[in-house]
Structures are given as structure tokens and as C-alpha cells.
Structure 1
Amino acid sequence: MPGSSKNKVKIFFLFALPSLVVVAISWFLGGNNGLIGSLIAVFLLSLIFYFLGARVLLRWYHSKKVQSTEYDEIRSILRNLADMAGVNEPDLYVFDSDLPLLFTVGTRKKNVSISSSAIEVFDSEELEVLLAREIGHIKNDAVSLNTIVALFAGIISAFSTLALWGALLGGFGQDYDPAPKLIRLIAMGIAAPPAALLVQLGTPREAESLADNVAMDMTKNPNALGAALSKVESFVDDLENVRLNPGHSHLFSVNPLKVRDIFNVHLSMFNTHLDLDTRKQNILSYSS
């Protein structure tokens, strides 16, 4: 599988580096007892983050697992694509969002989550090719790394949201007023660089192209993929009030973050996607 070994090494370092810092500080402050206690703590926390990270992200978006009697067409498409790719069929989830988005998370069992808007906006061919992209991430063994990166980067990025709510609760007005927006900008100025660095280093630049290629191999439908990606970008451009955690941007098929004013200029640091025109050209050239 492309990049499988590299992704496992990246996951190891994502856990190892902060753990070493915590262990070193604990040993410096508490001696051998602090060292042993911190080793046990970081080991247990690493297990929790690794095995429960996908569940945290699914709950982050209030994703609900699809039952056997729901969304028969989508489940059938997903099952057929998984069989075609030779991977285990992922569980299907649905979440509410005005943006037509899909994402896949999981370290053991993989889970594909699709927004209510995506179900309404895309026709069956577009849904198939977008689901094929998610299967592509599974086949390319990219999902575990994407999940851990999204969990860590999302937690760091959430610092700005906490700062905003702190400003609002402190009596600074509404979230569109200058004072809380400025506080959020300052908070993101602190949180964005490490979170964005994590996303950029943890997400291979070619990951989306590899998923596009798998979708082309399975569906032979470049026009549907290009049209679906264009629809997603159009919704991102038009909907100004939809907020997504920037640490999760790499999970989606198109960059869902837009820099609309100076107060969200930090969003540009999180983009791991090629521009859409380049991707569509690559899709057409790959399928020809």
C-alpha cells in the first residue's frame, strides 16, 4: 500500500514526541517516581487516543451510525466499492451540515461519514465517485494517520473557539463584534502555527491525488468526479457562516476553509489540497 510504512512511522512520532516531553518534565520535577508515573500515564493516554480517536471525531460532528434499514442505495454503493477495492466495508455515518462533505476516520474499523447536504446535492454517480475517493484513502492506508492528525490538530485549533466563548461570556458582545473577533485572532495566532505544522507534516501532499486516482480506477467516471468536487467548492465559496475546525481540513475532498477577512487569515496555513483546476486536469489526464 502506498505510504503505509511512512504513515505508521508518522503515527509513532505523533505519539512519541509529546510523550517524551511530558516524561522528561515529570522526571525533572519528580525524579524516578515521576518518571514511572508519567510513563504509565502517557502509555494509557496514547492507547485511548489511538483506539478512541475516531469516535471522538465522529461525535465532534454529531455523526449518527446508519442502521441496516436506512440509506439502502448509499450502503449498497459503499459495499460494492469496498469489495472492488478489496478492503473491509466501512461503517456508514450521517451528520448534519450545510456543506456537502464526506470524511473517513478510524484506526482499526474505518468509518465513512457523509453530510445531510451531500445526500441531497449529489446524484448517484457523484455519490459513487466521492465514496470511491473515501475507499481510496482506506486502500492507500491513509485513514489512521489522517485520524490522529485531525484529533491532535483539532484539539489545538479548538483553543481559539474557547477563547472566543470566553470573550463572549466575559461580556464582549456578539461573535461578529470587533473585540471577540480580535481575541479569537490572537488565540489562533498562538494555536494555528503548531496545529497547521502538524497537518502539513502529517498529511502527504499527494494523498488527495492518490485518492482521486483510486476513484478513477474504480468508477471510470472523471466527469462525475470533477463535477462533484466543483459542487463542493461552490458551496464552500457561497456559505459564509459555516465554521469547521481547521485542524480537520485535510479530511475533506476539497479545502473547506476560506479566508474572507483578516480575522481568519490563519486558515491559509491549513490547506493541503491542490487547487481544483489542477486536480481536474490531473483527473482527466489520468483517466485518458
Structure 2
Amino acid sequence: MFGNWFKTTLLMAAFVALFGAIGLVLGGRTGMLVALLFGGAMNIWAWWFSADMVLRMYDAREVDARSAPEFHAMIAELAQRAGLPMPRVYIIDEAQPNAFATGRSPEHAAVAATTGIMRVLTARELRGVMAHELAHVKHRDTLISTISASIAGAISALANFAMFFTGGQRDEEGGGVNPLVALLVMIFAPVAAMLIQLAISRSREFGADAGGAAIGGDPGALADALLKIERYAQGLPLHAAEAHPETAQMMIVNPLHGGGMTELFRTHPRTEERVARLRAMAAGRRY
């Protein structure tokens, strides 16, 4: 567990360093200082507000024991088994089956599921999925994934400002930024941010699978759910995820549709490997 936290801390530090590098390229030492301050402010802002922002992106609606009694009761039972406070519960009106958890701490957590996943999965499978999401809450992955999504989006936006620094003012005295340099920053900074973000995501999913299996007491249920979700998700778009791809790594299964670059920028470990590990757990074997 300590190794995962240390790795994640290094990866999050890399986000701040990337902010500084962009600022250095575009504005020298002053630009680096401004970018580092901006990166620090983004961290603080994301800590407090990113969870609600993500829920708004997905137009999630909060439900309670009266509006969604069976689903709410399922979350309450799993949270009690996990030794967690009751999270806020949300439903997203999307056909694609998927789910995620968010929040800066177990005391400020939320779980969300699409109407598609509630329609496609059996109650046993849905329970396995939501146990996985509560494992993310218990491991405090929700803070890391939500902050990384927010900062990755901010880095992409910052890189897009690069061309404003060219301004056509470059002269013999060296004023301005070389348009080629600005173009390279625009291209490669978001890619670097995405790679950092995906490394964070992939390092956390196996732990949440194991934790969810322990909370729910049924590794096979999550394995069955993962296979079914991936099969359905391939043919159904998740519109909010397509509009905000930096949030894709928060989902239990990759919600995005892509071409040949999909393998390079995988948001999750391969489902086949996740299922194999869960099957081994169900059989009492070590993977």
C-alpha cells in the first residue's frame, strides 16, 4: 500500500513539474513561477471542488432511500461492510453501463451509476460493481483520480494558450516565443499530462478490484459484471465522457471509443487480466 501511495505522490508531483516546464518554455523564469503558482492553485481548487464539477459534467442527479430505495439500500449495506460513512448516491441518465466514485475523502464521497448499468446488470453484478467503487473510496483513490482529471484538463487548456504567447512579436532581440516551440508545447504537454494521468489510473484498478471483492464477498460477481459492461460499452457512447475524456479513467470500464491509438492510451488495465485475477480470487488461488 505504501508503495502505491509513494508512486502516486511522485506522479502527482510530475503534474506540478509539467506546469512549471510549460511556463519555463513559454515565459522563462517568470513564466515558470506563474505556472507553478497556477498549478498549486489548481491543486487546492481541485481538492475542494473537483468532485462536484465532475458530477455536474455528467448531469448526475442525487437520489435517496425514497427515490431509489433498492439501489440506495445496496450502497448503504456495502458501505457498512466496508466500514465507510454513507456516501452521496447519484444516478446518470446514460445508456452506456458504467459507474464511478468521487470525493476528496470517505467523509465527502459520492458514487454514481448510469441507468444503463442498472438495466443491464443483475442485482448481484451491480453489487460487485458498487463494492469496487467503494473500494476506491476506502483507498482514497477518489481524491487522486478526480484531482488528476481536473489538472490534466487544466494542463491541456494551458497548452492551448501557448499560441497567444507567439503574438508575432519575435524579433532580433529575442522577444516573444518561437511559434514552433509553442506548437510543440501545445501538442506534447497534453499528451504528457494524459500519460501521467493514465499511469495513476491503471495503478489503482487492480487494488480496487481486490478491495471490492473483499467488501462484497463475491469476486465472481465483479468478474461477470466487467465482461458484460465492456461488451455493452463498446457499442454505446457515454456522451459526457467523450466531451471530457480526462474523466474517463474514473469509470469502472473505459467509456471512450477510439481507433488505433486506444491501445497506447489505455485508461484501464485489460479487462481479461482483471477478470482472471478475480476468478483466481474466487477459486481461492493467488494470482
Give the TM-score category using the shorter length. 0.7 to 0.9
Q: Is contact 2:64–2:72 with CA below 8 Å preserved after alignment? A: no
**Partner SS for 1:257:** coil
**Shift in Å, 1:144:** 0.9
What is the aligned partner in structure 2 of residue 136 from structure 1? 135
How far apart in 1 are the matches of 2:85 and 2:7?
A: 19
Unaligned runs of 5+ in 2: 159-185
Amino acid at match of 1:126: E
What is the aligned partner in structure 1 of residue 6 from structure 2? 6
**Shift in Å, 1:19:** 5.6
1:122-271 to structure 2, matched below 5 A, reads 122-155=121-154, 193-205=191-203, 207-239=204-236, 244=242, 245-260=244-259, 265-271=260-266
**Shift in Å, 1:200:** 2.8
Task: State the number of aligned residues.
Answer: 255
How far apart in 2 are the matches of 1:93 and 1:107?
A: 16
The TM-score normalised by the length of structure 1 is: 0.73
Q: 2:269 aligned to 231, 249, 274, which one?
A: 274
CA RMSD of aligned residues (A): 3.6
How far apart in 2 are the matches of 1:226 and 1:121?
A: 15
**Shift in Å, 1:101:** 0.7
Q: 2:99 aligned to 89, 102, 105, which one?
A: 102
**Partner SS for 1:203:** helix
232-241 or 53-62, which moves further after superposition? Answer: 232-241
**Shift in Å, 1:271:** 1.0
Identity among equivalent pairs (%): 25
**Shift in Å, 1:259:** 3.0
Change in Cα spacing, 1:191 to 1:120, as seen in structure 2 (3 Å) is farther
**Partner SS for 1:284:** helix
Unaligned runs of 5+ in 1: 160-187
1:56-67 to structure 2, matched below 5 A, reads 56-67=53-64
**Shift in Å, 1:18:** 4.9
What is the aligned partner in structure 2 of residue 73 from structure 1? 70
The TM-score normalised by the length of structure 2 is: 0.74
Change in Cα spacing, 1:220 to 1:51, as seen in structure 2 (3 Å) is same
